Amino acid sequence: MEVILHIGAHRTGTTAMQAWLLQNADTLAASGTAYWGPDRTRAGLFSGLIKRPDLVTPQDMQNARRIRMAIAIELDRLSDQGMKRLIISEENVIGAMPQCVDMLTLYPDMTGRIERVARAIGPRLRRVAVSIRRYDMWWASVLTMSVARGVRVPEAHSLARLADHPRGWRQVIGGVWNTLGLPVSVWSHEGMGSDHRAQLGAMMPRAGLPAGLYEPGRRDNAAPCLSDLHRRLIAAGHRPAQPRQTRWMPFEGALRAAMVAHYLEDLAWLRTAPPGIDWMDVSAQSMGANPGAPTEEEGHYHDRQASRLA
């Protein structure tokens, strides 16, 4: 039995994907694929594992041994039931959005987090799945959630740092690959963010998809509405989006151009990435075709759950 770990990233449609996997859990199980999502990982199963490395206590380290045993027992039980694989989807494995905002960079303490989770799962972990998104759209979505919670809007110098920061998806993906030495499936939110079947196929490339998968096309955990965000921005003394815009975009002009250029460099690297990094290609021309509709945004439900995690 193999384990596939889907680690997000946040704001790339993971909540919608998790809802779809949960709704199709019986169909998947009938074909030998089990699924654990945040309803399992955040209900005690991963307690203490998904935590900032600098906050890990000796008690957490002791609990990790107990968690490894509990996970091993669960995996044996699934194997006895005829399961061939288990998909675990938990985006907080690589970090938390508030810390990304505080540190003004992508998942700064990812390595320690993912190492702890990989040790807990053990040798049955065979593949990791990662979804990425254009930097201007990703950071705008993250900052929207942050401002909606009452966090101050970043100043101009902070936005410039986000636009120019050298750490990006290439470092995140390469870090996962170098740390775990496992195959990493990667797709873009622009190319596959609303195609749940394609994402599932990327997670388990050697297995065919079962017939009868349900596609509800429902709205899951949308980001805060623009009118609510406008009120907060105006109260903070910032100029809100223009009336015809459907989302807040804090990056303008040269900053946004720099972020798009950085993303294009990442896509070029992914197309020539070393064996073990499996890129589900999306052309530069279609890169902005699906920048993240409300139906694909993550939002309040999982963020409330995430607030219980460091």
Residues 204-255: pLDDT tens digits?
Answer: 998 989 999 987 654 444 455 555 555 655 555 555 555 545 678 999 999 9
Nearest-angstrom CA–CA distance, 155 and 170:
26
How many CA atoms lie less than 13 Å away from 220 in the CB half-sphere? 23
The secondary structure of 63-116 as a DSSP string is HHHHHHHHHHHHHHHHHHTT--EEEEE-GGGS--HHHHHHHTSS-TTHHHHHHH
Reply yes or no on whether the pLDDT at 272 is more than 70: yes
Q: Which residue has the higher pLDDT, 211 or 295?
A: 211
State the CB neighbour count (10 A cutoff) for residue 247.
17
Tens of pLDDT, residue by residue over 29-88, are 999 999 999 999 998 888 778 888 888 888 888 888 899 999 999 999 999 999 999 999
Q: Please give the helix or strand (H or E) that residue 188 lies within, else none.
A: strand 184-188
Fold observed for domain 2-133+168-219+260-306: Rossmann fold (3.40.50)
> For residue 302, is pLDDT > 90?
no
Mean pLDDT of the chain: 85
Going from N- to C-terminal start, the domains of the chain cover 2-133+168-219+260-306
- Which of 77-81, 191-195, 226-230, 268-272 is the least confident region? 226-230
